Structure 1
């Protein structure tokens, strides 16, 4: 591809990894095309809004920064009004956070929205297959159309990337070592304030791993007392194929049991299954690459479970792609 004028680069996935990569490529004067099967950007940095306009951050609850590069990005987002620190009331016995908790100012999706500016993003567009033809990549779209690109970057969860790569690239085999846990998320709205003395809490045992009062997150729109809970990985795996309605009943009961505080009457309840929520066994390197085939694969699952890991992987891929042009 060296010497190619305006090479066509496809980025599959519009989560943090894909958008960080595409944004970095755009800053280098390239014009990547981002494909996202969902109706919005952000992946697990998602903000769900109900028909009444109430907001729930039902994926990643906050991000932390350990490295200088991601710290600088968060500070830039803060100066732009897109990011803020979050210091919810925690249970009295809970340990204090070691690193600052960062959230989006209008929901977690605010953290990636500035990265998407000026990008060509195709929402609700599923890439169903890849095929190498005459030194280029043909992307089969679910709409039965085909688009051709000089280079492809895949930033979907590892199992989805492996399915796309199967039969198309030998990189598929390397993804066998990655493990990602599922998570059921439940969004609850109460008619009256729920009388617990905290705004967020972790649980080491039981069906529920995390709960957070959404109204404690400045800028997240909504009325009333709204809560988000994440089920524990083992529980989520055991109930992975249950219906949302079944999960709602089970986790509402578990919530009252684990907090020992009765729940007020509900005004809203909805469950969402994150099939690939948290990396439990990462790849151990920032990306997979086959430069001779112009193929790069990455995501948070390369380095760990944090959003920062996704950003690191996306930026490493952007550097590798740019170096190959």
Structure 2
């Protein structure tokens, strides 16, 4: 739904508001959660977000080192296919939080949609949308408890939240399933979804890697992707920094190794993939994304309980692109607003 259409619909729905002011909790402050919260605020609904991480964005992530280097080590870029998401990204670009990335690609690269990235890093992409949001970071929601017609959230430290009319989870399916133990039907649907892991290597080298590209995708082997960080908008300080993604199969086979073990192995695999020895690294670190990419999506924008008090969504509903997370979040916002303001 276009922003203008949301405003018109919100104005119409405000006339139907009941005396009780509904409250909504969203678990997860990535693209799905924040796009959902952003849309719900346009309906003048009270939203509180909870995320276990210390920052927003989820897989829209940037790692900064003590030495001042930065690495976009999660989602590498976003593309736009729909008019709604194009308008959403344009809004972020106008706010200075996104820019087009035009790296030199390997000669075997095929044509692609325009790539957009967060500026100065992927973690900054959603920040313009969070200024008026109530977000609780470093907060792990471990269970839901019934409270009249609503729900209270139990956090890992034992704290019990106030009551919410609707709870939305945008966590990965496995984590959402654990939270929604109160709804076996939703759990059964979540069981059908599959996501693949990804190990990521972040490395700064003492000399340039002698390649003629800034980004390359690999169709076979342990390495699936590598990108020079200095080629990304506003990333200029990290001249010899690279982010390398391992393929899903390799990542799954090495899933439970330590980051130190994986960092060593991935350097060997990268050397093999590009056919040359690597320069010495001044910084190296590996990060595991246990739920990195959807391999078997739900096939619909979201899940909802029979009474529409519980919702679940994310990129895993529709596919593997960031736009899928946005579409799921927007669809949940429309469904929740309809339930709270008109039913």
TM-score (norm 1): 0.97
Whole-angstrom CA distance in 2 between matches of 1:121 and 1:219: 27
1:93 deviates by 2.1
Distance, in Å, in 2 between the alignment partners of 1:197 and 1:182 is 29
Superposition deviation, residue 27 in structure 1: 1.6
Q: Does structure 2 retain, via aligned residues, the 8 Å contact 1:132–1:168?
A: no
> Is the counterpart of residue 176 in structure 1 residue 214 in structure 2?
no
**What is aligned with 1:117?**
131
CA distance, structure 1, for counterparts of residue 301 and residue 290 of structure 2:
22
1:130 — aligned with what? 144
Alpha-carbon distance between aligned partners in 1 of 2:209 and 2:195, rounded to the nearest angstrom:
33
Q: CA deviation at 1:293?
A: 4.7
Q: Which runs of structure 2 are paired with 1:193-212 in the superposition (5 Å)?
A: 193-212=208-227
Answer yes or no: is 1:267 the counterpart of 2:288. Answer: no
Q: Please, which of 40, 48, 52 is the counterpart of residue 25 of structure 1?
A: 40
The CA deviation at 1:301 is 0.3
CA displacement at 1:207 relative to structure 2: 0.6
Count of matched residue positions in the alignment of Structure 1 and Structure 2: 324
Shift of 1:262: 1.7
| 1:104 equivalent among 118, 122, 126 | 118
Partner of 1:83: 98
**Separation (CA, whole Å) in 1 of partners of 2:173 and 2:258:** 24
Q: In the alignment, does 2:331 pair up with 1:316?
A: yes
1:139–1:146 Cα contact (<8 Å) kept: yes
Deviates more, 1:297-306 or 1:160-169: 160-169
8 Å Cα contact 1:90-1:198 kept in structure 2: yes
Q: Does 1:231 align with 2:246?
A: yes
Give SS of 1:167's match: coil
Structure 1 residues 217-226 or 27-36, which shifts more? 217-226
Residue deviations 1:116-149, cap 9 Å, x none? Answer: 1200000000000012232111210112110121
Once the two structures are superposed, residues 246-295 of structure 1 have per-residue CA deviations (whole angstroms, 9 ceiling, x without a partner) of 11111100101110122111110000000000000000000001251511
Secondary structure of 2:46's partner?
A: coil
Provide the C-alpha distance between the structure 2 equivalents of 1:257 and 1:78, rounded to a whole number of angstroms.
38
Q: Which residue is 1:191 aligned to?
A: 206
Q: Counterparts of 1:149 and 1:291 in 2: how far apart (Å)? A: 17
- Using the TM superposition, give the Cα deviation of residue 170 of structure 1 relative to its aligned residue in structure 2, in angstroms: 2.9
Structure 2 residues not aligned, in runs of 5+:
1-16
Which stretch of the first structure deviates more once superposed, 194-203 or 285-294? Answer: 285-294
Cα RMSD (Å) of the superposition? 1.4
- Measure how far apart 1:4 and its partner are: 5.0
Q: TM-score, normalised by structure 2?
A: 0.92
Tell whether 2:55 aligns with 1:62: no
1:5 CA drift (Å):
2.3
Give the Cα separation in 2 of the matches to 1:4 and 1:261: 69
Shift in Å at residue 161 of structure 1?
Answer: 0.5
SS for the counterpart of 1:85 is strand
Task: Find the partner of 1:300 among 293, 299, 315.
Answer: 315
Whole-angstrom CA distance in 2 between matches of 1:34 and 1:202: 35
Q: Return 67-76 or 225-234, whichever deviates more.
A: 67-76
Does 2:160 correspond to 1:161?
Answer: no
- Residues 186-209 of structure 1: CA distance to partner in whole angstroms, max 9, x if unpaired? 100011111111100011111100
